[in-house]
Amino acid sequence: MGSWGTGIHQNDMAGDVKMIFQDFSRRPTDVDTLVTEILEKFDVGKGAQDESEADVWLALADILHQHALDHSPTMIHAKRLIEDGTDLAIKRDLGMSERDLAKREKVLAETLDRWSKPHPKPKKRKKAPAPEPFLLEVGDVWAYPTMHHAARPFHVKDIDLSGFVPDGWGAFAVADRWHANGHRACYLFVLVIPDGTTQPTLEQVHAAPLQECTYTIEGYDKQWIYPVIFEGRLAKRKQGLKQWGAELLGSIALDVSKVREHFPDRMKNVYNAFDPDGFLWLEDELTTTSFHKAASNARAGTVSKIVPHPSLRLATLCTD
């Protein structure tokens, strides 16, 4: 279970709903299609309701109201969850204190009142006029300075970068690209660890081992060990490449069929963000280790360690 407070949007699931809405709503679809796709994304309404479904419905209904988007089925269902006491019962079962339950009840009453009339200053839905342009070419190889194999985390708010002292270089290759859901520019990235402490050449990256991540969570006996290959996006577009100090080394001939052969389940990783929609930012993966996690207040008890893969090299994934 994630964290939550007494507000409609004070829980992890509501934050995810907001992020998905912002992304999905950019496509030129009608409201019915938009809502259906968001609910499918969260696997809502397909059977027994779990503890998170109420948070999804309430957050989605409130976001639609904020944007003056009319979708009666969503609003009716969300109101029912409040009026019949379902939401409060779920929160009580999850261990919310009586004091916070009273605050939640007040919030829900205020929410119903707010929904009973049009939003006074609705937000404008931001639709994309065209699919996002591709910024990277298939086969591109980029190198960037690292500290303990992690890039400079410029994108993390309130982080002290004074301790970032490069001690080596990392690199990634673009194995594939496509438009997810018809508009989001997504890429298949393969991360490697070049040898040495100076900027590598294209030939050195070609011969370099893939990054391997060992991920552990306090309280679990299991470790997750996997090559760092993932589907993702550039959140900051090419601004990020510049701020990492990344250099385009050139292009190599990656064989996508070999990538899929070696990693048939690459979209079923430990992180929920690894999915076909490409909701993993390259910025987050490149800064997953070292002092960055502590400095950015990452979840306590998680440890990520990046090492060279014992057998796989980038050359393994290239055309013969």
- Answer whether residue 1 is part of any domain: no
Query: Distance (Å, rounded) from C-alpha 38 to C-alpha 184?
Result: 15
Residue 37, both tokens: 């796709």
Q: Based on the domain organization, do 164 and 259 belong to the same domain?
A: yes
Q: Are 291 and 304 in contact (CB under 8 A)?
A: no
Q: Based on the domain organization, do 61 and 111 belong to the same domain?
A: yes
Q: Based on the domain organization, do 173 and 306 belong to the same domain?
A: yes
pLDDT classification of 170: cutoffs 50, 70, 90: confident
Q: Based on the domain organization, do 213 and 65 belong to the same domain?
A: no
- pLDDT > 70 fraction of the chain, expressed in percent and rounded: 72
- Answer whether residue 127 is part of any domain: no
**DSSP secondary structure letters along 4-37:** B-SSTT-BHHHHHHHHHHHHHTTSS--HHHHHHH
In the predicted structure, residue 235 carries a pLDDT above the cut 70? no
| Host domain of residue 32 | 12-115
- Answer whether residue 305 is part of any domain: yes
Q: Are 211 and 308 in contact (CB under 8 A)?
A: yes
Q: Based on the domain organization, do 188 and 81 belong to the same domain?
A: no
- Answer whether residue 227 is part of any domain: yes
pLDDT classification of 278: cutoffs 50, 70, 90: very low
Which residue's structure tokens are 């992304």? 23
Q: What is the mean pLDDT of residues 165-191?
A: 82
- Answer whether residue 133 is part of any domain: no
Q: Based on the domain organization, do 111 and 219 belong to the same domain?
A: no
pLDDT classification of 3: cutoffs 50, 70, 90: low
CB neighbour list of residue 85: distance below 8 Å, 6 or more residues apart: none
Residue 59, both tokens: 């957050």
Query: Distance (Å, rounded) from C-alpha 193 to C-alpha 39?
Result: 39
Element (H, E) at 293: helix 291-295
Q: What is the mean pLDDT of residues 69-88?
A: 96
Q: Based on the domain organization, do 87 and 181 belong to the same domain?
A: no
Q: Based on the domain organization, do 107 and 153 belong to the same domain?
A: no
Q: Based on the domain organization, do 45 and 159 belong to the same domain?
A: no
Q: Based on the domain organization, do 176 and 255 belong to the same domain?
A: yes
Q: Are 140 and 251 in contact (CB under 8 A)?
A: yes
- Answer whether residue 99 is part of any domain: yes
pLDDT score at 273: 31
Q: Based on the domain organization, do 177 and 288 belong to the same domain?
A: yes
Q: Based on the domain organization, do 110 and 210 belong to the same domain?
A: no
- Answer whether residue 130 is part of any domain: no
Of the residues 98, 115, 132, which one is the last residue of a structural domain? 115
Q: Are 285 and 266 in contact (CB under 8 A)?
A: no
Q: Work out how many domains the chain is built from and give that number.
A: 2
Q: What is the mean pLDDT of residues 230-238?
A: 62
pLDDT score at 275: 35
Q: Are 38 and 55 in contact (CB under 8 A)?
A: no
- Answer whether residue 3 is part of any domain: no
C-beta neighbour count of 25 within 10 angstroms: 21
Q: Are 31 and 127 in contact (CB under 8 A)?
A: no
pLDDT classification of 91: cutoffs 50, 70, 90: very high
